[in-house]
C-alpha cells in the first residue's frame, strides 16, 4: 500500500504583535495599531489597516503627527505578552494536528498527511485559535512547505473571498496562485535575489516553478534550487525535529538612557544574566564560561567611543544564577572605564553542555546538589507567579536604566496585578 502524499499546513497569525494588543483592548478592534521597537525607536509591526499610512522601520519621533492625523495608536513592544500569547496559540494548534513545527513566534507548520479534509481542519483551527486566544490566523495548505507559505499569503491577501483558509493541493488552484504571485513573495526570495531572477525573465512564482532547477543551483545556490522544486510540487523540506540545545546564549539590551556609573551598569548586567540563565535552565544545559561586554554609542561623532569585553571561566559547569551573576558583575569592573557614556551591555553564556557530557575530574569542583534544587524552586515560583517574582538581590524591580517603553500595554497574562478587569454596570 503506497504512502499518502505529503500535505503541509502553515498557520500564521495576522499582524501578530498588533493583534496581541487588540485582544485585551476591544475598543481598538477597528482602530489602526502599530508596535515600536526597543526604546520606542521605530515601527516593527502594523495592523492591516495601518499599512497604507505607515512603513515598516519608520522612526517614531518622525511620524508622531502622522499617527495622530490618521487616528493610529502606537504601543511599545511588550515581549512578555507576545511570548505568552504565542505559547497559547501554538498549544491550540498542537492539540489539533498530528505533528507541528513552531517556525517562529507567530507561525507553525503542521503535518496534515492523511487528514481526510485538510481545508475543513484548517477552518476549525482558525476558529479554535480565535475562540481560545482572540488571535486571528491565516491557514495555507499545500503539498510542500514553500507552497503552503504561498497559500497562506493568498489566504490573507484575499481574506474576504477565502475566509482566511486556502488549500492548493489541487493542481488547478496551485497554478492559479503561482501565476498570480510575484516572485518576490516566494519564501526565501529577497530583494537582491528578485533582481537576479528578473534579469533571467523570472517574474512570477510560476516562472520560478518552471525554471530549470540545476541551472538555478549552479547560478545561485541549492536553496533556490529547492525552492523551485517545491513550487513545482516536489517536497524537499520536511517538518523539522525539535531544535537541539543552543551552544551559546546571549542577552543584550540597549539602555533607556546613557549610563556613566559602574553600579547601574552592574545592575543591568545582573538583570541580563537573570534572563540568560532562565534560557540556560530551560534547555537543561550548564555553562562553562561567560563573556561580558559593554560599549558606548558608536554612531555619534561628538561622543567618545569605547567598547570592551572579557571572557571568564567558571569554577565548574553551572546553571546557578547566583554564581553566574557574581562572576558577570565582577567582570564588568575589569572592562569599565570612567568618563564614557555607555549605551549597551551584553552577556553571553559559552561552552554550554548537558549534564553528564563534560568529563568529570576526580578532584574538580562540581555544582552542589543544593544549588540545583534552589534553581528548580526559583524557576517553579517564577513560572507560576510571573518572571521576576523571585530574583537575585542585585536585580532591581524598576531600574532607571531600563528600555524606554512609555507606551507599553499591561502584562495581562503574566502579572497578577495587571490582569484584565471588567466593570459590570
Q: Where are the domains of the chain?
A: 1-170, 181-243, 249-358
Predicted confidence band of residue 357 (pLDDT cuts 50, 70, 90): low
Average of pLDDT values for 266-293? 93
**Closest by alpha carbon to 150, among 119, 188, 118, 116?**
188
**Segment (H or E) for 351:** strand 342-353
Contact 60, 43 (CB under 8 A): yes
User: Beta-carbon neighbour count of residue 399 at 10 Å?
Assistant: 15
pLDDT in tens, 71-110: 999 999 888 889 889 999 999 999 999 999 988 899 999 9
DSSP at 189 = -
Q: What pTM did the predictor assign?
A: 0.74
* Topology given in CATH for the domain delimited by 1-170: Alpha-Beta Plaits (3.30.70)
Predicted confidence band of residue 425 (pLDDT cuts 50, 70, 90): low
Residue 1's pLDDT is: 44
pLDDT in tens, 279-290: 999 989 999 999
CATH label, 249-358, candidates 3.40.50.620, 3.30.1490.100, 3.10.580.10, 3.30.70.100: 3.30.1490.100
| Residue 289: partners with Cβ closer than 8 Å, 6 or more residues away | 311, 312, 313, 314, 350, 351
Report how far residue 116's alpha carbon sits from residue 425's, in angstroms, rounded to the nearest whole number.
Answer: 48
- Asked whether residue 361 carries a pLDDT value surpassing 60, the answer given is no
DSSP at 50 = G
Residue 340's alpha-carbon distances to 59, 262, 263, 307, 367, in angstroms, are: 26, 11, 14, 10, 37
**Closest by alpha carbon to 174, among 201, 203, 206?**
206
Residue 128's pLDDT is: 96
Average of pLDDT values for 190-195? 83
Average of pLDDT values for 137-158? 93
- Asked whether residue 188 carries a pLDDT value surpassing 90, the answer given is no
**Closest by alpha carbon to 337, among 300, 305, 302?**
305
pLDDT in tens, 41-60: 889 999 989 999 999 989 99
Report how far residue 110's alpha carbon sits from residue 323's, in angstroms, rounded to the nearest whole number.
Answer: 41
pLDDT in tens, 201-241: 989 999 999 999 899 898 888 888 999 999 999 888 888 75
CATH number of 181-243: 1.10.150.20
Indicate the Cα dihedral angle 381, 386, 391, 396, nearest 10°.
-160
Residue 294's pLDDT is: 94
Amino acid at each position: 500500500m503506497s504512502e499518502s502524499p505529503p500535505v503541509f499546513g502553515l498557520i500564521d497569525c495576522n499582524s501578530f504583535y498588533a493583534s496581541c494588543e487588540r485582544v485585551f483592548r476591544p475598543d481598538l478592534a477597528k482602530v489602526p495599531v502599530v508596535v515600536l521597537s526597543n526604546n520606542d525607536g521605530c515601527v516593527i509591526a502594523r495592523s492591516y489597516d495601518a499599512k497604507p499610512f505607515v512603513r515598516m522601520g519608520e522612526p517614531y519621533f518622525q511620524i508622531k503627527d502622522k499617527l495622530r492625523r490618521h487616528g493610529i495608536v502606537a504601543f511599545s513592544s511588550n515581549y512578555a505578552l507576545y511570548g505568552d500569547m504565542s505559547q497559547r496559540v501554538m498549544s491550540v494548534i498542537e492539540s489539533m494536528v498530528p505533528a507541528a513545527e513552531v517556525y517562529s513566534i507567530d507561525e507553525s507548520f503542521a503535518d496534515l498527511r492523511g487528514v481526510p479534509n485538510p481545508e475543513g481542519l484548517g477552518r476549525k483551527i482558525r476558529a479554535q485559535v480565535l475562540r481560545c486566544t482572540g488571535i486571528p490566523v491565516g491557514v495555507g495548505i499545500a503539498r510542500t512547505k514553500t507552497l503552503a507559505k504561498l497559500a497562506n499569503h493568498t489566504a490573507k491577501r484575499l481574506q474576504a473571498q477565502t475566509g482566511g483558509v486556502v488549500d492548493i493541493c489541487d493542481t488547478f488552484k496551485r497554478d492559479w496562485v503561482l501565476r498570480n504571485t510575484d516572485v518576490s513573495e516566494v519564501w526565501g526570495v529577497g530583494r537582491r535575489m528578485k533582481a537576479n531572477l528578473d534579469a533571467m525573465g523570472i517574474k512570477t512564482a510560476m516562472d520560478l516553478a518552471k525554471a530549470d532547477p540545476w541551472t538555478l543551483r549552479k547560478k545561485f545556490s541549492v536553496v533556490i534550487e529547492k525552492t523551485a522544486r517545491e513550487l513545482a510540487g516536489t517536497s524537499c523540506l520536511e517538518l523539522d525535529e525539535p531544535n537541539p540545545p543552543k551552544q551559546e546564549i546571549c542577552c543584550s539590551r540597549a539602555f533607556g538612557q546613557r549610563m556613566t556609573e559602574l553600579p547601574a551598569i552592574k545592575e543591568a548586567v545582573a538583570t541580563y544574566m537573570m534572563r540568560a540563565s532562565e534560557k540556560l535552565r530551560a534547555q537543561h544545559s550548564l555553562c562553562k564560561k561567560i563573556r561580558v561586554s559593554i560599549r558606548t554609542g558608536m554612531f555619534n561623532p561628538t561622543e567618545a567611543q569605547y567598547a570592551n569585553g572579557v571572557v571568564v571561566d567558571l569554577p565548574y559547569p553551572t546553571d546557578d544564577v547566583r554564581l553566574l551573576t557574581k562572576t558577570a558583575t565582577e567582570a564588568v569592573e575589569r572592562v569599565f572605564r570612567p568618563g564614557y557614556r555607555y549605551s549597551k551591555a551584553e552577556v553571553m553564556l559559552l561552552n554550554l553542555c548537558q549534564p553528564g557530557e563534560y568529563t568529570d575530574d576526580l578532584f574538580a569542583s562540581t555544582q552542589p546538589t543544593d544549588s540545583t534544587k534552589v534553581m528548580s524552586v526559583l524557576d517553579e515560583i517564577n513560572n507560576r507567579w510571573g518572571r521576576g517574582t523571585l530574583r537575585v538581590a542585585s536585580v532591581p524591580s524598576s531600574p532607571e536604566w531600563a528600555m524606554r517603553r512609555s507606551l507599553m500595554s499591561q502584562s495581562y497574562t503574566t502579572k497578577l496585578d495587571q490582569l484584565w478587569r471588567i466593570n459590570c454596570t
